[in-house]
Structure 1
């Protein structure tokens, strides 16, 4: 499935994990963030006014659901600074917490596959020919940085040829996208940030 020449043709490159996230980037946030900021987002919480996570109550504003909420890690139980975390809520109310790992300052486009299903998933070209992210285990995530291109992508079960969902995307530099899969399907979310949690 991994064809190096085809892979080069669509301008994919490995994600670099050597630089820590710069959380106080004033172009993203209206106020300076604490040095120990972590980032939590709540997916599937539409219609909910609040959510509990790691001993902290987050206020959920309707137009901010699905956005990363920066919060001081000192206010959370057993969460390290710099963490990115997705909390997924299924239709039956069951919650899953998925650690997305630390980030770097993005210079290209970061594609993230968050797997809230019970099977391995992959992010591939929509026709299934090239894998962008392979063998993402249940309740984990994987991230890769790519060049900005217009492309069709699909989320697949690891051993299947037919996609669970496909998406036509026109990637822009500095734009980061999450493909979030759970029992309710696959959502495409553009990564955005809400104000600092108090």
Structure 2
């Protein structure tokens, strides 16, 4: 079922890290990031105007839902500079913190599978024939970079042949996408950045 040579021809993978210097070089921010910037995003917090993480109160603007918020790690408790974290909010208001894979910026498409469920998940071609991201345990994430292509991807439970959700994507160079699975279902989020947290 899993044709890795086909995947190698379509998607040349490796780990990736979007650094503060990359963000500054590409003018994503109105101001320079601190050298110890970390990145936090809050998913499922629509309608909330603030959230707490690592001893810091983040202001959540309505148009910034799900975006990475850069923040100086010196303002957070026990957070390493350069890290990425997703905070998932469940329907009952419970929160789940998921650390993301470290990444380096390359001219490819970064695909991230964030697993906020209690089932091990995989990202594959929608027909199940090729693994893109394998064996992502509950409360964890995994990342892979691929070449830009138009393709249909599916999120599968491990050892299942029918996807839980499918997504048609036309990948663009430099684009980063997250497939987020939690109590709300499975959704696709294009990775974007909010202004620096104060």
TM-score range, shorter chain: over 0.9
CA distance in 2, matches of 1:139, 1:8: 28
User: Match for residue 137 of structure 1?
Assistant: 137
Gapped runs of 5+ residues in structure 2? Answer: none
Pairs aligned (count) = 195
Instruction: Give the deviation of 1:102 after TM superposition.
Output: 2.0
CA distance in 1, matches of 2:19, 2:48: 30
CA distance in 1, matches of 2:18, 2:176: 14
User: Match for residue 61 of structure 1?
Assistant: 61
Gapped runs of 5+ residues in structure 1? Answer: none
CA distance in 2, matches of 1:4, 1:179: 21
RMSD of equivalent CA atoms:
1.2
CA distance in 2, matches of 1:100, 1:138: 13
TM-score (norm 1): 0.95
TM-score (norm 2): 0.95
User: Match for residue 16 of structure 1?
Assistant: 15
Question: Which SS does the other structure have where 1:39 is aligned?
Answer: strand
Question: Which SS does the other structure have where 2:197 is aligned?
Answer: coil
User: Match for residue 41 of structure 2?
Assistant: 41
Q: Would you say 1:181 and 2:181 are equivalent positions?
A: yes
Q: Would you say 1:89 and 2:86 are equivalent positions?
A: no
Alignment of 1:21-36 (within 5 A): 21-24=18-21, 25-26=23-24, 27=26, 28-36=28-36
Runs of 4+ in 1 over 6 A off after TM superposition: none
